[in-house]
Structure 1
Amino acid sequence: MRARKLCLNAVCALSVYLVTASCWAAGAPSGQTRSLADALGSADAEHEVRQLRGDRYDVFVESFTVTATPVLLKDGGIFLDGWRVGYSGQHAAAFVHDADGRTYAAYFDAERGKVISFGDVGGRIHPAIEGWARRFGPPVDIILKADPAARAPANLPQATAATPSPGEQVELRKVAASIWNGSLAASWNMNAEVGDILGTVTHEIMECSAAFNLVPKPVGWVPGWSYVTKSALSIVAYVTGVSRDRQYKGCVNSAAANWRSAIEMASADI
């Protein structure tokens, strides 16, 4: 019961963060990072998550000096991942708070070459944590923290949004490849939600690199995947140009890091 109360309090703090994160980021100076403490929102919430992580909390929080864009999962939970500044491939962590109060967390232990996962239901890793862990390649060590009798999340109905046609998916994949790389883009399902995220990422890159004028900017940005498919040629040209510019390539790198988990969750329909 105590663990459930802690989880519920933590998810409330994260819910507030999810709503306010975009506003916080918009007002932050360029290059400023969002820490785990910022995400938890209060000393009390940080203390509660510390209790949930036990003696591994310090290792966990050291991998959270930067946080990515929070993801609201289809089952109502919240996913958040982060990394140590400059070491996203060596020191990274992630956690999920379900709407019903269960908690899951993991961090990549570079020295052991393994992902260490906390919190599960009967040995099952949360799908969002599992998807995040794949980017590191190694096997996952599981540390049981949850109630084995807890029920698994219910499957939600499929989204009813229009689906991009095969030709439109090709265009979406081109844009994704220009922001991340061809290998990652080839592994993602180019559904409507992924396309919508690509539109948001494109807009963030354009806003960040507003003063860049060596390549014409895509014209008339509007939210949604349809714009991305129709403007794919100009988006790819612009992103490629920004990526090659010493001053502005950070705009692409930052957007790619901040939105990778969100696009992977959307691709996997989690």
Structure 2
Amino acid sequence: MYSTDIDPDGLLRRYLGDRRFLLALPRAVGLQMLHPAIAAGMEHSRTPRRLWLHKRHTVPLLIRMAYDDTDLSSIIRRGHEHIKGVDDLGRRYHSLNPDLFQFQHATYVDTLVTMIETFVRPLTAGDREDLYRDCGAWYRRYGISDRGLPDTWAGFAAWFDDTCRAVLHRTARGDAYRDQVLRPRDWVQRRVPTRAVRGLMHPVAQELWDIEVTAGDRRALHRYVLRRKAVAALSRRPPAVVRL
């Protein structure tokens, strides 16, 4: 996996710019705020107390990089080179560390796959491999080392699960964002019902943050998915990064 070429007709470009990916982002961000270094790095944000305003500023550029073949990696480096310090476990971090950057990217890959399978359709094994190959090309456009990036979807899924269970911890700085993750108050995520947000949470986030996903949460998510499918069926506009 060394290419930065992305299939123009593949699943990545079909769905990454889809509004439903943004609506599913609490899943990714819920994991990110359980990573001690990522949670600590929020102190460098323009809006350190408003998690979703921070994501509104940062996520669209990452999505744009999957669609724009222009080299934008210098923007990534300039925007992250000053984000460094000590996390709540007393460990030094730098946001351009490949392991850290790869994990944050991985949360978006996991959320994209979950969004497609929840809001669109189940993916075949071949779909997942094709999508993951394009996600690898998307990651390389950041200009960050891919030395630890698994080569296959199966390898990625195992690595991601192991990393979540070994690396993620509750910390004081992470806990400060728990309510904002579960009840977003900014950007498009504020329109997602709280029960649906809970239903979308990754199992590790559910466990670490003591979130009990009830039958009512699952029913609420199902109703929300049906509404979003109806909206998507009525809209004939293709996904476009300029609308993010």
Calculate the TM-score normalised by the size of structure 1: 0.27
The structure carrying a bigger strand percent of its residues is 1
Q: Which is greater in Rg?
A: 1
* Greater RCO, CA 8 A, separation 6+: 2
